[in-house]
């Protein structure tokens, strides 16, 4: 008997960063030496205060349900973080904690969108955004951005994209895939548009030049996605939060109660430790990322891979490889097969990044040097054949 799957499930496109990683695992199992520069996965262990707190919390019985918005103590800690870091007051009652930002995006777009409503996205942007929007019945509308702007959106061009069906503008600063930061002036202009800003701030805390800003410095009527995966090396802990306007939090809470119930209790306890006890560990990681960033950008440019705007945040470099091959997926697989270096094809992030490759420096400097040596030989051999 044939099983009919829903249209929305069949329209979800593969996540190419994961596809590359999975193919790399196959090669590695067959004996190939693989270096992973394809995923945004910190190579550092989770800080000790976080793991110690989680163990103690489990031993003390923190394995039960919690408040559906999240532990009050954790929401207080998140509120204090925004006050101390950005000078903004966030009522803890406006914070919803869940198992990472991905389920929160699904809930948020489900709350915002009727069938055919639109969300403005930058092209390129994080690969999963359009799938969340489409799954909720919405339509992603793409704003092509420029390499010289670090692929960040110019406010006047965003304003020109708005239609009566626009229900929000999704921005990401610091950004994946380009590692760029929106200037404060641009954020302020965006905050004045007549639709809500949805600001993905998951990479806050990983900026190496200049300052990162939260949209909440300019407006309360915005949605902020944040979490612990990247800055605190807690990807597998699955802990994130959404800050929402006061008028929206109750419907979002009802969705969360029904679909997710609550975030993991002892993981939330660990999140408090991350925010309050780990500044020394975070600073050590940040310094290491910065050294890797500087090396990688310089080396990629020496190899002829174009990086117009120097990335200043997150742990990614989006490099122009169109002179090697306009098909970034084909090129990434060729590099993986021939060199054992896994990188992400730019097309994963939208047509505006086709022909680019995203390199992650969430790996050791030793491995980055080894990987770029291999890519240098690959480019040289390709030149000899042409």
pLDDT for res 22? 93
pLDDT for res 129? 96
For residue 255, what pLDDT band results from cuts at 50, 70 and 90? very high
At residue 244, does pLDDT exceed 70?
yes
Q: How many CB atoms lie within 10 A of CB 80?
A: 14
For residue 9, what pLDDT band results from cuts at 50, 70 and 90? confident
Among residues 253, 254, 171, the alpha carbon closest in space to that of 216 is found at: 171
pLDDT for res 189? 98
pLDDT tens sequence across 35-83: 999 988 999 999 999 999 999 999 999 999 999 999 999 999 999 999 9
Q: Which residues of 292-326 are buried (b: 16+ CB within 10 A; e: fewer)?
A: bbeebbebbeeeebebebbbbbbbbbbbbbbebbe
At residue 386, does pLDDT exceed 70?
no
What percent of the chain shows pLDDT beyond 70? 99
Q: Is 13 exposed, middle or buried (0-12, 13-18, 19+ CB in 10 A)?
A: exposed
At residue 180, does pLDDT exceed 70?
yes
pLDDT for res 205? 96
Q: What does pLDDT average to over the chain?
A: 96
At residue 385, does pLDDT exceed 70?
no
pLDDT tens sequence across 263-297: 999 999 999 999 999 999 999 999 999 999 999 99
pLDDT tens sequence across 335-382: 999 999 999 999 999 999 999 999 999 999 999 999 999 999 999 988
- The span from the CA of 313 to the CA of 143, in Å, is 22
- The span from the CA of 41 to the CA of 73, in Å, is 27
At residue 383, does pLDDT exceed 80?
no
Among residues 319, 308, 322, 330, the alpha carbon closest in space to that of 359 is found at: 319
Residues in contact with 357: Cβ distance below 8 Å, sequence separation at least 6, in sequence order:
305, 318, 319, 321, 328, 331, 332, 335, 343, 344, 345, 346
pLDDT for res 382? 80
Among residues 246, 181, 253, the alpha carbon closest in space to that of 215 is found at: 181
pLDDT for res 384? 63
Structural domains of the chain ordered from first start: 7-45+280-381 (3.90.1150.10), 48-278 (3.40.640.10)
pLDDT tens sequence across 111-169: 999 999 999 999 999 999 999 999 999 999 999 999 999 999 999 999 999 999 999 99
pLDDT for res 18? 87
For residue 12, what pLDDT band results from cuts at 50, 70 and 90? confident
Q: Report yes or no on whether pTM surpasses 0.85.
A: yes
Q: Tokens 């240098």 — which residue? A: 376
pLDDT for res 273? 98
At residue 13, does pLDDT exceed 90?
no
Cβ distance 120 to 168 under 8 Å?
yes
At residue 177, does pLDDT exceed 60?
yes
pLDDT for res 336? 96
Between 102-111, 229-238, 268-277, 375-384, the lowest mean confidence (pLDDT) is in 375-384
Q: How far is CA 296 from CA 42, 102, 358, in A?
A: 16, 29, 12
């Amino acid at each position: 008997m044939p099983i009919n799957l829903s249209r929305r499930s069949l329209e979800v496109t593969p996540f190419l960063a994961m596809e590359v990683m999975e193919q790399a695992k196959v090669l590695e199992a067959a004996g190939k030496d693989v270096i992973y520069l394809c995923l945004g996965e910190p190579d550092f262990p989770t800080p000790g205060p976080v793991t110690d707190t989680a163990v103690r919390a489990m031993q003390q019985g923190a394995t039960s349900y919690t408040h559906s918005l999240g532990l009050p103590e954790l929401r207080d800690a998140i509120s204090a973080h925004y006050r101390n870091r950005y000078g903004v007051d966030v009522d803890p009652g406006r914070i919803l904690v869940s198992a990472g930002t991905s389920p929160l995006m699904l809930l948020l777009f489900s709350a915002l969108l009727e069938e055919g409503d639109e969300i403005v996205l930058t092209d390129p942007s994080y690969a999963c955004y359009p799938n969340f929007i489409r799954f909720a019945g919405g339509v992603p509308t793409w704003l092509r951005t420029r390499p010289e702007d670090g692929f960040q959106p110019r406010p006047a061009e965003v304003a020109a994209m708005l239609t009566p069906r626009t229900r929000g503008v999704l921005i990401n600063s610091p950004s994946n895939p380009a590692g760029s930061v929106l200037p404060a002036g641009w954020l302020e202009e965006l905050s004045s548009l007549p639709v809500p800003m949805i600001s993905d701030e998951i990479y806050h805390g990983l900026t190496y030049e200049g300052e990162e800003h939260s949209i909440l410095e300019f407006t309360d009527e915005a949605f902020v996605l944040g979490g612990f995966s990247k800055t605190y090396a807690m990807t597998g802990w699955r802990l994130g939060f959404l800050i929402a306007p006061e008028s929206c939090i109750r419907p979002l809470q009802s969705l969360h109660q029904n679909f997710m119930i609550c975030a993991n209790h002892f993981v939330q306890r660990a999140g408090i430790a991350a925010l309050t006890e780990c500044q020394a560990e975070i600073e050590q990681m940040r310094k290491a990322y910065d050294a890797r960033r500087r090396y990688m950008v310089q080396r990629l440019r020496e190899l002829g891979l174009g990086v117009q705007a120097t990335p200043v945040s997150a742990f990614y470099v989006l490099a122009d490889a169109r002179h090697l091959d306009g098909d970034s997926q084909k090129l990434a697989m060729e590099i993986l097969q021939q060199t054992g270096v896994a990188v992400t094809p730019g097309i994963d992030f939208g047509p505006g990044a086709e022909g680019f490759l995203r390199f992650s420096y969430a790996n050791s400097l030793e491995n980055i040097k080894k990987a770029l040596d291999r890519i240098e030989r690959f480019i040289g051999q390709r030149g000899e054949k042409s």
